[in-house]
Amino acid sequence: MRAVIVAVGVAFLISLFCTPIAIKVFTRLKAGQPIRAEGPAMHQGKKGTPTMGGVVFIIATVIAYVAGHLALTTLPDQQIAQVEPTITALVLLGLMVFSGAVGFIDDFLKVRKRNSAGLNKRGKLFGQILVGAVFGVIALYFPSSMVDAAGTATNVETVGSTTLSFIRDIDALQVGKVASVIIFIFVVMAATNGVNLTDGLDGLATGASVMVLAAYALIAFWQYRHWCADPNYTEKYCYAVRDPLEIALIAGAAAGACVGFLWWNTSPARIFMGDTGALGLGGLIAGMAMSTRTVLLLPIIGGLFVIITMSVVIQIISFRTTGKRVFRMSPLQHHFELAGWSEVNIVVRFWIIAGIGVAIALGLFYSEFLANVS
């Protein structure tokens, strides 16, 4: 727990105090956010607000991970913890950094061209698939090498699983490594696009991501406290995952970094996370679902992202098949803007929806544990 707290605190402070520096730097570089002409008219006042702020909380998360590992070296010997950096960290931080890099290219092109076009759809899609495929292979083809005092391999797990999972792996749903990599890519694409579509109002995606990441930090730490790799904890209801403390540390660090960023990103936003931040967070959240073996729980934990994504899908299908729009504008948050809701009201109410999804998911997770121990 000490390492997680250190990581959260370091990430929060870095993000809180370095974001104003980023605001000044991006303002001098004239890295302002272009606003779509077809978007809500009230958004035109946001034109020129610095973007690419996701760079700050991505860097803060990485630095906080290192700080958390320094704290791990002070843990008592009897505690089970991976002090050295792991493949799990490589996958999770890699997904965040390289998904963010795809978003950074998109943001850079928008700023350079002075319009909202950015990276074309094929380019962004290729980048997401490439990132998902590379880290999907790493997650599925590199098992852990933890050994006990007798030199026997224990907890030989990969970051991802060849079995579909809800709260744990579902043994009846074995899909194999190749299919698992494909699923990994799909989850990365779904999560990155979900967070990106949600990032339309000041603080909306940031606040929702804090809740989701905090939920994964709780889930991963619970798994660490009931880990099958712990020789003192071999009951039938332990969790067969890899490096759960690493997962909790990174999730906590990212959540802390987002809280620090939210101070400056809430309405009226002084800086936007841009696609850099949205895709980076989406990639990390996808990795969290795969590494904690809670893939099918992700749509509930990230319920707000699902709802907003579905509003876009429904709008496109309806317009192409009937020529009519279901919503005044999609994504959904813009529909309510045009309906006369204030931006702050929309954000707060959508945060409540995000919180409900997180609460339901955590309730399901804990109730499954209670059902196993009863």
Instruction: Please give the pLDDT value at position 84.
Output: 73
pLDDT tens profile 269-308: 999 999 999 999 999 999 999 999 999 999 999 999 999 9
pLDDT tens profile 81-115: 556 778 999 999 999 999 999 999 999 988 887 76
Instruction: Please give the pLDDT value at position 77.
Output: 46
One-letter amino acid at 150 equals: A
Measured at the CA of 252, the angle between CA 7 and CA 233, to 5 degrees, comes to 100
Instruction: Please give the pLDDT value at position 145.
Output: 65
| CA pair distance 321, 336, nearest whole angstrom | 24
Specify which residues 163 forms β-bridges with. 174
pLDDT class of 35 with cuts at 50, 70, 90: low
Instruction: Please give the pLDDT value at position 229.
Output: 80
pLDDT class of 168 with cuts at 50, 70, 90: very high
Mean pLDDT score of the chain: 89
pLDDT class of 149 with cuts at 50, 70, 90: very low
pLDDT exceeds 60 at position 154: no
Average pLDDT over residues 103-129: 87
Residues 365, 167: contact at Cβ < 8 Å?
yes
Average pLDDT over residues 32-59: 78
Of 109, 289, 116, 108, nearest to 194 (Cα)?
289
Measured at the CA of 256, the angle between CA 247 and CA 106, to 5 degrees, comes to 85
pLDDT class of 256 with cuts at 50, 70, 90: very high
pLDDT class of 234 with cuts at 50, 70, 90: low
SS3 277: helix
Instruction: Please give the pLDDT value at position 331.
Output: 94
Q: Is the pTM of the predicted complex or chain greater than 0.75?
A: yes
pLDDT tens profile 14-28: 999 999 999 999 999
The three state secondary structure string of 331-371 is CHHHHHHHCCCCHHHHHHHHHHHHHHHHHHHHHHHHHHHHH
Instruction: Please give the pLDDT value at position 200.
Output: 85
Give long-range contacts, CB 8 A cutoff, 24+ apart: 259-262: 259/12, 259/15, 259/210, 260/11, 260/12, 260/13, 260/14, 260/15, 260/16, 260/17, 260/19, 260/57, 260/60, 261/15, 261/16, 261/19, 261/53, 261/56, 261/57, 261/206, 262/203, 262/206, 262/207, 262/210
Least confident of 197-201, 208-212, 292-296, 355-359: 197-201
pLDDT class of 193 with cuts at 50, 70, 90: very high
Residues 303, 211: contact at Cβ < 8 Å?
no
pLDDT class of 371 with cuts at 50, 70, 90: confident
